[in-house]
Every structure is written in C-alpha cells, then in structure tokens.
C-alpha cells in the first residue's frame, strides 16, 4: 500500500512510474487525494464536536458534584444536541476511511526507476547468463520420466492421497528434498540470516500485512471454519513477525531465513506448464527476508541477488538472471530479479527464485517502523525477500541436467547433505 505522503508529495512521478505497469493510475491517484481531503475535513469536524461534548460532559460532572441537579439537566439537553451531530460524523469518517483504504489497496507499488518498460515476459531485461548448458550424447529425459524410472517421486500416489500437484517423494527423492533444505538453510546461516520456523497457517491480518490479502485471496487455501490461510510462502509469517513494531535504527538490518512448505491454489494454470514438478500446489522453499533502512535497501537487494546466485553456482546449474519489466512485476514489488535455471531434459528455463524490494509497500500495511537515534519521529523501514531457493524446479533441473544412462549424479556441494552421490 502506497503512503499518502508518497502520493501527495510526488504525485506526478508516482503516476508516471506507475505507467510502467502499462496502466494509467492517474484517476485513482486523484481519487485518493480527493478522498483524503474529505477524510481530513470530516475528522476536523468530528474532533471539534467531540471536544465540545467532552467539555460539556465535564461541566455536567462538576454541576452534579456541586448538587446543582436542575442545571445539570439543562446542560444535558445541549449535550444530546451535539451527540446527534457526532453520530453521523463518526459514521461518515469510518466510511471515508474504509473507502480510502480500499482505493489505496487497489494501487500497486511504484516501480523503481530502473524497471524496464514492457508488457510480457519477453520484455524482461536479461542481466546475465552463467553456468554450463548440459549436452547429452544419448536421448535425455524430462524429470517426470526420470523420477518414475528411479522411483524417487510418485505423482500418481499424490493424486491418490490428495490430488494433482501434491507429489510423494520417496527414498533418495525424499532425502534429496531434506538435503536441499538443509543445504539452503546452512548457506543462509553463513550469511548471517537467523533461522525462523514459522507457523504454516496465518490469519487475515498477516495476509493483509504482506499484500496477499485482499489482492490474492483466490490463490491461497483457506481454512474456512477457523478463518485462517495456508501460507503461500514463508515470507508471510516471517515478515509479519515485525508487524506493528517500532525498531531501533541499530536493530537494522534484520535478516531472517525460513524453511517452510508452501501452498498455492494456482488457479488458472494448465497444460504442460504444470507437468511434473513445474507447478505444484504444495512445495518446499527456503526464503530469505530482510528489513532495512530505506537508504540501504537497493544495496541489500543486490547482495541478496548475489547470494542466490552463489547457491546456483554451488549447485552447478546453468542459470540466468532477469530484471522484471513493468508488466511482469508483482503487485507489491518495486523491483524484482527473477532467477531461471535451464532444465536440460525439458529444454526450457524454469523460474526458481524471485528477489524483490518492496520498499515501504509492505511496511506501510504492517505498521513496521524504525526510529533513528536521537529522533522522535518514526520512519517506515523497507522490506525485501527472495527465494533461496524453491525446491521443486531446482530438483527438476538437477535430475534432468545430471542424468546419465544409469542414474543421476548429485552435485558435489550437496553430497555432504545427501550422504550419497548417485541415484
């Protein structure tokens, strides 16, 4: 959610930058400003009425204490008159506030000035490609066939137990999952991220705080009788740890990492895009989250990109990094780098990580602020997060790229975690 301050102080540049999303928000922005003006004047009116009624109430109190009952009754009439003004005003204020929030929550984050313009995936800016593309001197297979042949992932059993998109990992397949989680967590810890193990269910406030609600309600699984949601990413509970918080400047940056299962309805997905591990309803991911001072968030973003890249290097994957164009940029993000790995069996690029700076978009909703030393005022912090990494597509690429005629090789960096080097 954008702040009113952002909108009012830089109206033109906000509108212009939002145009990168291929949509003109000037009407909404004007509406926000207009609504906020109504809010202000309504509040001023209400505050004045409340001040008056408070004064009268005190007067009545004094009269009663002095035994002047008849006079008190006269003044009461005056109080009732004001009360009649207060009620509609406070209703009005409540409504205009709701309207304002509604307007604000429908405006996406302002893209960073470096976000490339464009509408589609093809318009994303390629930052770099690295690693070696795997070539085979035999007929290579996609991961779902390899998984079946070596009995490490059973998609059919998942269908039986739950439904499509809930695979069952078996034997070395299950161990590979565990090893990857452990590897990612250990690497994050080396970088100074504190490990968090969060709840997998979140309430509505948390969903609102990081921007999943109300925007992406349909993408989350909801526990109806408890009014809770299954997390689509650990970003939600972990970032919400600091909801409604005022930090000290010296507490920043806050660096957290969390492994969690993630649950996504993926409504609208279909066809070969969802084949095998390419798109699942339940998957595992290690997430990294940072809370920083505004001045340092872009420097931090680059460091996070470098970190995620280091993981892909250690896993010896062929990857590329793209900066998302305005049309591809998520609703809550100001700048996002996507990581894609080449999966040599399917012969296609798979998105394995998204690293984003949300600037104050989340912290405004979260009421996550910090205070500089010696200052009384609070400022909004910046939040950033990234996958480091999501497992399924990494697994897909690993087993496709490292396939041999007789089995699958495990990259060196993982062997100490799997305790085997071949499947």
Partner RNA sequence: GGAGAGAUGGCAGAGUGGUCGAAUGCGGUGGUCUUGAAAACCAUUGUACCGAAAGGUACCGGGGGUUCGAAUCCCUCUUUCUCCGCCA
Q: Which residue, 52 or 154, has its beta carbon nearer to RNA?
A: 52
In this chain, which stretch among 49-57, 151-159, 273-281, 338-346 interacts with RNA, using CB under 7 A?
Answer: 49-57
In this chain, which stretch among 78-86, 231-239, 334-342, 354-362 interacts with RNA, using CB under 7 A?
Answer: 78-86
Q: Does 69 sit near RNA (CB under 7 A)?
A: no
H or E stretch covering 35: helix 26-65
Are 281 and 165 within 8 A, CB to CB?
A: yes
Q: Does 372 sit near RNA (CB under 7 A)?
A: no
Which pair of structure tokens corresponds to residue 76?
């009461």
The rounded distance, in Å, linking the Cα atoms of 97 and 67 is 43
Which pair of structure tokens corresponds to residue 189?
């810890």
**Smallest distance from RNA to CB 207, Å:** 16
Closest listed residue to residue 181, CA positions, set 191, 199, 170, 195: 195
Q: Does 369 sit near RNA (CB under 7 A)?
A: yes
Are 99 and 35 within 8 A, CB to CB?
A: yes
224, with CB counted inside 10 A (0-12, 13-18, 19+), is exposed
| Number of alpha carbons in the 13 Å side-chain half-sphere of residue 61 | 6
Q: Does 1 sit near RNA (CB under 7 A)?
A: no
Report the residue from 13, 30, 54, 404 that binds RNA according to the rule CB under 7 A.
54
The rounded distance, in Å, linking the Cα atoms of 213 and 216 is 6
Backbone φ, ψ for residue 199 (5° rounding): -65, 150
Closest listed residue to residue 204, CA positions, set 179, 182, 231: 231
**Smallest distance from RNA to CB 12, Å:** 21
Report the residue from 23, 30, 64, 422 that binds RNA according to the rule CB under 7 A.
64
Q: Does 44 sit near RNA (CB under 7 A)?
A: yes
**Smallest distance from RNA to CB 272, Å:** 41
**Smallest distance from RNA to CB 221, Å:** 19
Give ∠ CA 278-280-285 in degrees, rounded to 5.
Answer: 90
Is 291 strand, coil or helix?
Answer: strand
Range 92-121, binding RNA (CB under 7 A): 94
The rounded distance, in Å, linking the Cα atoms of 407 and 423 is 5
Is 293 strand, coil or helix?
Answer: coil
Range 377-416, binding RNA (CB under 7 A): 377-378
In this chain, which stretch among 16-24, 60-68, 124-132, 345-353 interacts with RNA, using CB under 7 A?
Answer: 60-68
The rounded distance, in Å, linking the Cα atoms of 47 and 42 is 8
**Smallest distance from RNA to CB 197, Å:** 14
Q: Does 313 sit near RNA (CB under 7 A)?
A: no
Q: Which residue, 134 or 362, has its beta carbon nearer to RNA?
A: 362
**Smallest distance from RNA to CB 47, Å:** 4
Are 350 and 357 within 8 A, CB to CB?
A: no
Report the residue from 79, 127, 241, 274 that binds RNA according to the rule CB under 7 A.
79
Report the residue from 30, 58, 119, 160 that binds RNA according to the rule CB under 7 A.
58
Q: Maximum distance among all alpha carbons in the chain?
A: 104
Q: Does 47 sit near RNA (CB under 7 A)?
A: yes
Size of the site for RNA (CB under 7 A): 30
In this chain, which stretch among 22-30, 79-87, 229-237, 321-329 interacts with RNA, using CB under 7 A?
Answer: 79-87
Q: Which of the 8 DSSP states describes residue 344?
A: T
Summarize as ranges the residues that interact with RNA (CB under 7 A).
Answer: 4, 40, 43-44, 46-48, 50-51, 53-58, 60-62, 64-65, 76, 79-80, 83, 94, 246, 369, 376-378
């Amino acid at each position: 959610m954008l702040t009113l301050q952002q909108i009012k102080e830089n109206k033109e540049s906000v509108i212009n930058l939002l145009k990168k999303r291929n949509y003109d928000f000037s009407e909404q922005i004007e509406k926000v400003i207009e609504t906020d003006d109504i809010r202000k004047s309504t509040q001023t009116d209400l505050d004045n009425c409340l001040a008056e009624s408070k004064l009268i109430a005190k007067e009545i109190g004094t009269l009663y204490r002095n035994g002047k009952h008849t006079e008190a009754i006269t003044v009461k009439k005056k109080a009732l008159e004001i009360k009649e003004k207060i009620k509609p005003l406070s209703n009005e204020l409540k409504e205009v506030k709701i309207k304002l929030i509604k307007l604000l929550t429908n405006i996406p984050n302002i893209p960073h000035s470096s976000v490339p313009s464009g509408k589609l995936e093809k318009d994303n800016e390629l930052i770099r490609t690295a690693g070696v593309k795997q070539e085979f001197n035999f007929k290579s297979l996609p991961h779902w066939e390899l998984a079946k042949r070596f009995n490490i992932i059973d998609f059919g059993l998942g269908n039986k137990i739950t439904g499509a998109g809930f695979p069952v990992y078996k034997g070395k397949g299950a161990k590979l999952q565990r090893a990857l989680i452990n590897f990612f967590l250990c690497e994050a810890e080396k970088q100074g991220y504190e490990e968090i193990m969060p709840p997998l269910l979140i309430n509505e406030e948390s969903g609102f705080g990081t921007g999943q609600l109300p925007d992406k309600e349909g993408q989350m699984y909801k526990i109806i009788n408890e009014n809770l949601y299954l997390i689509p990413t650990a970003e939600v509970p972990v970032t919400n740890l600091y909801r409604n918080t005022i930090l000290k400047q010296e507490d920043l940056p806050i660096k957290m990492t969390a492994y969690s299962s993630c649950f996504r309805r993926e409504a609208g997905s279909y066809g070969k895009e969802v084949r095998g591990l390419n798109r699942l309803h339940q998957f595992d991911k290690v997430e990294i989250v940072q809370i920083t001072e505004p001045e340092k968030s872009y420097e931090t973003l680059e460091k996070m990109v470098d970190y995620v890249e280091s993981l892909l290097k250690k896993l010896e994957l062929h990857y590329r990094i793209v900066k998302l164009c305005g049309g591809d940029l998520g609703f809550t993000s100001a700048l996002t780098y996507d990581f894609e790995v080449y999966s040599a069996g399917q012969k296609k690029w798979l998105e394995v990580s998204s690293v984003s700076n949300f600037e104050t978009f989340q912290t405004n909703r979260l009421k996550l602020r910090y205070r500089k030393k010696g200052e009384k005022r609070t400022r909004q912090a910046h939040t950033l997060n990234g996958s480091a990494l999501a497992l399924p597509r990494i697994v897909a690429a690993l087993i496709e790229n490292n396939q041999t005629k007789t089995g699958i090789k495990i990259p060196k960096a993982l062997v100490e975690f799997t305790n085997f080097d071949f499947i």
